[in-house]
């Protein structure tokens, strides 16, 4: 079942983010604080754009999510005002790559945002992969983005995450940019 995010789903978002990190292989072994990864890549969406957050749920609980931002540039500005300051206090600068991301978050290339102003993150626990839920979650968000007037959506995937690359291609996303670390996929809406 896919449904809109509810505030009582927040702990599940943190868990799913942690257990699907590291290219889907799980990242619990990488962090002393199991909520760190979610502070950077899941919770801000639920906090700042709950209307663009959806979860999949089964008999065991929340098993996946898709999170989005309608206007990437405005979202990044809002993160800087409303989310990153508290996260920086909680996580003093260190050599951890996620902590560094919190302290110096990258800005999305304006040329990419011009073509694909919205963006998304989707993650599923292993128990529900291969059931069509990932595509259904993305479709749910794409419909919501269209309803809010978006003309395009993008996302980033690290090169080593070959499963996700295939998944996005299957859904109709195309590669629109590349850096040494990751690929950018886009889809017009």
- Residue that is written with structure tokens 């998304």 in the block: 120
Return the CA Rg of the chain. Answer: 15
Three-state secondary-structure class, residue 187: strand
Say if residue 162's pLDDT is above 80.
yes
93 Cβ contact partners less than 8 Å away, ≥ 6 residues apart: 99, 100, 103
Percent of the chain scoring above 90 in pLDDT: 83
Which two tokens mark 46?
A: 């639920």
Residue 26 binned pLDDT confidence (cut-offs 50, 70, 90): low
Number of domains forming the structure of the chain: 1
| Measured distance CA(140)–CA(79) in Å, rounded | 24
Q: What's residue 160's pLDDT?
A: 86
Say if residue 24's pLDDT is above 70.
no
For the stretch 152-161, pLDDT in tens is 999 999 998 8
For the stretch 96-146, pLDDT in tens is 899 999 999 999 999 999 999 999 999 999 898 888 999 999 999 999 999
Region 13-37: mean pLDDT is 78
| Measured distance CA(146)–CA(141) in Å, rounded | 9
Say if residue 25's pLDDT is above 80.
no
Instruction: Give the range of the structural domain holding residue 183, as residue numbers without chain letter.
Output: 2-188
Say if residue 22's pLDDT is above 80.
no
Residue 34 binned pLDDT confidence (cut-offs 50, 70, 90): confident
Provide the CATH number for the domain around residue 64. Answer: 3.40.630.30
134 Cβ contact partners less than 8 Å away, ≥ 6 residues apart: 64, 122, 124, 167
| Measured distance CA(87)–CA(48) in Å, rounded | 14
């Amino acid at each position: 079942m896919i449904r809109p995010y509810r505030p009582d789903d927040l702990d599940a978002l943190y868990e799913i983010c942690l257990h699907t990190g590291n290219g889907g292989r799980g990242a619990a072994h990488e962090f002393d604080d199991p909520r760190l990864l979610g502070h950077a890549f899941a919770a801000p969406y639920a906090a700042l754009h709950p209307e663009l957050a959806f979860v999949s749920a089964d008999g065991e609980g929340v098993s996946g999510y898709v999170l989005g931002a309608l206007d990437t540039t405005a979202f990044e500005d809002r993160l800087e005002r409303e989310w990153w300051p508290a996260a920086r206090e909680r996580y003093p600068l260190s050599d951890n790559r996620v902590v560094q991301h919190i302290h110096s978050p990258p800005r999305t290339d304006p040329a990419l945002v011009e073509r694909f102003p919205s963006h998304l993150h989707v993650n599923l626990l292993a128990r529900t992969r291969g059931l069509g839920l990932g595509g259904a979650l993305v479709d749910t968000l794409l419909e919501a983005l269209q309803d809010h007037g978006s003309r395009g959506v993008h996302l980033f995937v690290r090169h080593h995450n070959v499963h996700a690359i295939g998944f996005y291609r299957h859904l109709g996303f195309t590669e629109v940019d590349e850096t040494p670390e990751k690929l950018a996929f886009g889809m017009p809406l």
